Structure 1
């Protein structure tokens, strides 16, 4: 069996501030060490339960170059760098049996939640069929499109609740209780890792009981963007149109895979500054 572990950074225990997640800031090296340790705890839990499992780990934060390769459990394969197919789910395919989200955060507008956002600060909201989805929902639905269930999520309590609303039978581990965008009550990192180890083993054992999040097409997608110039760029993409209000673009996708790819493209376009 194949398990994909997608590891973000904002939902790691002890992390509450952008300085801990930004390579240009002073506290980043400690943040990436904590991130790698939590990934290792989940890898160990999976392999305790399924010793023959093929474990892939997708670095899913920012540049996708945060996990320390030399410190990662050598039994796992690391998907690193960008751009790449599937974005945060690098390595996902139809042969994957289960996906786990480690260190994930709540969507933009969710709260109180630590470092909540959706893909980038340029994205205010993504709605699919009228339902607001953050990175948790978008990635869970992409996995679900391939018939793969999300069986585990760790992050703050708001992120855990977000997945439970979408996939009620998934296992969640709240490694911190959010007090706000940059404040939380966190578990000690060693305690968080012990809980993740145990939860990963439990989640992989009950993977067949978790229903994938499948959203049938065609799908109407709306994206609220931070700046009007971002809307100007987005509407250069065929099929993307401007909605009323000045900050929203819309498009229709044949299925969720098409929707996911176009959302990833629009996120990148939104990062371009006007000349």
Structure 2
């Protein structure tokens, strides 16, 4: 039986272009939640079209990890929601899964034009693993690959799709919008996007064995550029983390990618602390 995790972010969902649609305290958030849930349902439907007996898990992977509307989600899937939790955006994933599908993902910080591009947090300017810049797409794909799990599909804007294809050329991508800037895009009608998502999800699951997991072998040298000085002060308190020569950069060596991933997640949380 095929086991699939669908990791659903929000910035790359069909129709979404502005922070007001992605943040719980903004006026347009409820609309964004509905769009996100509908895209997730389209992908669940596509997976089960291709593999009716598949076991499908869905990880709410945006912000507070409590965005998807549980009562509106396809009842055939199991939902992972809430935080903190192991593996962050990949909550629930283990080596028993066959494939992971990235839905509503966005490009990394500094890329563009790309809709709502960032890496984990506005506090993170860049993450480099052995010199290679990785955003959420690359970090999550490599974490899945560390467990032997393939990334078979991604949906998002054209920049996000290109970012995954560079890392995992055999993956299926669905471009639901073409970025015109950080907060603007030419978007597909949501119903058209969902039709494409459903078909693509079925194709991705049917051929997931043709996709090689993204495996980055350790030890790994990691550098993280942080936005503000106090963030570097906090990060330097973590054993093994040092300030690099560049003023805004911290560095550490990880034994394997799982260690690197966990430490990046910790740095994201530390970056949210404001000194008294």
2:259 maps to 1:258: yes
What is the match of residue 83 of structure 1?
Answer: 84
Secondary structure of the residue aligned to 1:63 is coil
What is the match of residue 31 of structure 1?
Answer: 32
Deviations 1:140-199 (A, max 9, x none): 000000010100000000000000000000000000000000000000000000000000
Secondary structure of the residue aligned to 2:16 is coil
TM-score by length of 1: 1.00
What is the match of residue 231 of structure 1?
Answer: 232
Separation in 2, partners of 1:68, 1:243: 43
Query: How far did 1:245 drift?
Result: 2.4
Task: State the number of aligned residues.
Answer: 275
Separation in 2, partners of 1:208, 1:57: 20
Separation in 2, partners of 1:113, 1:273: 29
What is the match of residue 181 of structure 1?
Answer: 182
2:199 maps to 1:220: no
Root mean square deviation of aligned Cα: 0.4
Query: How far did 1:17 drift?
Result: 0.3
What is the match of residue 122 of structure 1?
Answer: 123
What is the match of residue 74 of structure 1?
Answer: 75
Q: 5+ residue gaps in structure 2?
A: none
Q: 5+ residue gaps in structure 1?
A: none
Separation in 1, partners of 2:246, 2:162: 31
Deviations 1:78-120 (A, max 9, x none): 0000000010000100100000000000000010000000000
Query: How far did 1:13 drift?
Result: 0.9
2:64 maps to 1:60: no
Runs of 4+ displaced beyond 3 Å: none
